[in-house]
Structure 1
Amino acid sequence: MNGLAPFVAILGRGQGRARALTQAEAFSAMTEILGGRAAPEAIGALLMLLRMKGETAPEIAGFTAAARAHLPPWTGPRPALDWPTYAAGRTRGQPWFLLSAKLVAQAGFPVLLHGWNSHQASMASVRDALAIPGIAQCTWEGAPGRIAADRIAYVPLEDVSPHLVGLLRLRDVLGLRSCINTVLRMLNPAGAAATVQGVFHPPYRELQRDAAHLLGQRDLCVLKGGGGEFEHHPTKDISLHGLRDGAVWAGSSGMHHSGRQRLAETTAPLADVWAGTAEDDFATAIVVSTAALALDTLGLPNAAAAARHLWTRRHYSQAA
């Protein structure tokens, strides 16, 4: 019998008989997939049945736990903050959140960024912009040393887990996203105590929060962000969902800038705003407010004031 057949049957028995997978069943199913014991047809059936039904927090938690168990070990001190970046980018402008992540690192909190979205041939490519604030792209094995030196590093998903890249790229075959997109946001491969996550569809905020709670995550902030990234819109009071000291938490971001403008409408080049050779109050508000939310997730008091100070001092902290 195919390794996924029992799980496909649970999900696809028909109206009145089908049910969601338990967390343990989801763990077993993902273990079969990553262990190479599942036929491609069964993988596609499982992922599309889950999409049609809608994933539950136990399912996402089980898949994520199995994915983590399949990763190579992290060999250094754990970063303070996990920052996944997996948005498709179709509605995203420039990746201002990279500047925010750099500010968090300059505040003394080691940050691990990981992702898969460099395949877009546009100015929105995350990897193309990494060098602007001085974020190194490195291998999984090299990330602990780079974080020790710079307090921040970016690792491509294909270096962390080619198997997970293969599952993610099934979207090219199936024509639809799957729960793998959510699992990757939840992955936290180095086991950071705090994580920030962006979503494109609002219902995923609570789904990811509840899955993280099942996984024992301590601190988390999830928001509907720019193109699905953890990037705050400063002219909106955004609903926040997450965890604080392991307890379910909700809040709001507050407004940090006046006016009405889309995130993708910032016109000043990211490099020039970071260098200070171009002024863009809206772009600056994106960066500072996003950094403030990340710092608050890390438990820093007066995070908004700290983020503003870090922005004004960013070039004095390059060696920090």
Structure 2
Amino acid sequence: MKTALAPYVRILGRGANLSRSLTGDEAQDAMEITLRGDAAPEATGAMLMLMRMKGETADEIAGFVRAARATAAAQGHVALDWPSYAAGRTRGLPWFLLSAKLVAMAGYPVLLHGWNSHQNPTASVRNALPVLNIPILDSADFSELPGGIGYLPLETLSPALFDLLRLRDALGVRSCINTVLRVLNPTGAPATVQGVFHPPYRELQMDAGQILGQQSMTVLKGGGGEFERHPGKDLALFGLRDGQAWDDTAPALSAQHVRLAEGSETSDPGALAALWSGQLHDDFARAVVLGTADLALQTLGADITAAALWDERQQRKTA
């Protein structure tokens, strides 16, 4: 019987007066045991659900990430890490993919990585990638990203982490693995942008990133949990600048007070390419793309605006 994880389940589950959170070192060891396959599946589920009940700490998330990086490291030149792990039930088209393309066009290589559960085909990142000519990488070992951008599927990056994420199907609720994957940054890129669905996770991811030595990070409550700005809402921002905790606010860019899924006139993934080429004119979608790209560029410390890049894209198209 596999019992290696039992001491950590015991720490988390000894009752209201005796249980406590894991230290960073304990969390790292517990995740190393799990990813090696030395944990009983019952113990893994118990650990994750006990952590969910009490609430994960930044030390626990950082410890899990340190363990995950040992088995889920990617090799390649990346300036901006862009995780994408939202289920997509409440959102529309993934306009943020155009934001990532703009950042890459500015000369900052972008690695998108993630998994989309396809609960909402309209929001599916996987369905949109071919439309935008964003390559799906077949290995975590790459030197340069074609066109400065690529998408690394979680099941390619780490089958073991993919299996842990898919435990949601058996458990019925999310676990801290969702947060771990957002903070993972498998290439160690100097900058990362992260979305959350539930606001308290903004500070949790910020604190975990600081423990891990991340230098630049921006976290926001985005569309369906993705890093995507709603232009019709004031925005609270959290993250890191030069490794130090940082927060800011950004005023609304538009007067449209609608859900992202309702703001655009179309649900056809082909609209993403049409907006990029100029065949589609959709002011709300354009505001989503440019507002999101500007936040990513600010995270990188870039001195160019998304609007300037958008105009340059048009010039390149007509040249």
What is the TM-score when the length of structure 1 is the normalising length? Answer: 0.94
Partner of 2:132, secondary structure, is: coil
What's the counterpart of residue 284 of structure 1? Answer: 286
What's the counterpart of residue 311 of structure 2? Answer: 312
Deviation at 1:277, TM superposition (A): 1.3
Matches of 2:184 and 2:125, distance apart in 1:
19
Deviation at 1:316, TM superposition (A): 4.3
Partner of 2:68, secondary structure, is: helix
Q: Structure 1 residue 57 and structure 2 residue 54: aligned?
A: no
Q: Which moved more, 1:167-176 or 1:260-269?
A: 260-269
* Stretches of structure 2 lacking an aligned partner (at least 5 in a row): none
What's the counterpart of residue 150 of structure 1? Answer: 147
Matches of 2:24 and 2:233, distance apart in 1:
36
Matches within 5 A, 1:168-247: 168-247=165-244
Matches of 1:73 and 1:277, distance apart in 2:
36
What's the counterpart of residue 107 of structure 1? Answer: 106
* Stretches of structure 1 lacking an aligned partner (at least 5 in a row): none
Deviation at 1:120, TM superposition (A): 3.8
What's the counterpart of residue 260 of structure 2? Answer: 263
Distance 1:248 1:120, change over 3 A: same
What's the counterpart of residue 96 of structure 2? Answer: 97
Could you give the per-residue CA deviations for residues 229-262 of structure 1, whole angstroms, max 9, x where no partner exists?
0000111111000000101000112221123121
Deviation at 1:203, TM superposition (A): 0.1
Partner of 2:94, secondary structure, is: coil
Deviation at 1:131, TM superposition (A): 2.6
Could you give the per-residue CA deviations for residues 110-162 of structure 1, whole angstroms, max 9, x where no partner exists?
100001005346121101111333211112246433x1x41111110100000
Matches within 5 A, 1:16-95: 16-72=17-73, 74=75, 76-77=76-77, 79-95=78-94
Deviation at 1:72, TM superposition (A): 4.7
Deviation at 1:70, TM superposition (A): 1.3
Distance 1:228 1:214, change over 3 A: same
Matches of 1:264 and 1:311, distance apart in 2:
23
- Across the two proteins, how many residue pairs are aligned to each other? 311
Matches within 5 A, 1:119-138: 119-120=118-119, 122-138=121-137
Name the amino acid aligned to 2:34.
Answer: I
Could you give the per-residue CA deviations for residues 189-214 of structure 1, whole angstroms, max 9, x where no partner exists?
11100000000000000000000000
State whether residues 132 and 274 of structure 1, in contact with CA within 8 Å, keep that contact through their aligned partners in structure 2. Answer: no
Deviation at 1:276, TM superposition (A): 1.3
Distance 1:213 1:72, change over 3 A: closer
What is the TM-score when the length of structure 2 is the normalising length? Answer: 0.94
State whether residues 240 and 250 of structure 1, in contact with CA within 8 Å, keep that contact through their aligned partners in structure 2. Answer: yes
Matches of 1:71 and 1:141, distance apart in 2:
8
Name the amino acid aligned to 1:144.
Answer: S
Matches of 1:317 and 1:101, distance apart in 2:
17
Aligned counterpart in structure 1 of residue 246 of structure 2, from 244, 249, 262: 249
Distance 1:315 1:139, change over 3 A: farther
Distance 1:73 1:297, change over 3 A: closer
Matches of 1:141 and 1:88, distance apart in 2:
23
Deviation at 1:73, TM superposition (A): 5.0
Distance 1:73 1:311, change over 3 A: closer
Deviation at 1:315, TM superposition (A): 4.4
State whether residues 74 and 157 of structure 2, in contact with CA within 8 Å, keep that contact through their aligned partners in structure 1. Answer: no
Matches of 1:284 and 1:93, distance apart in 2:
14
Name the amino acid aligned to 1:183.
Answer: V
**How high is the sequence identity, in percent, across the aligned residues?**
60
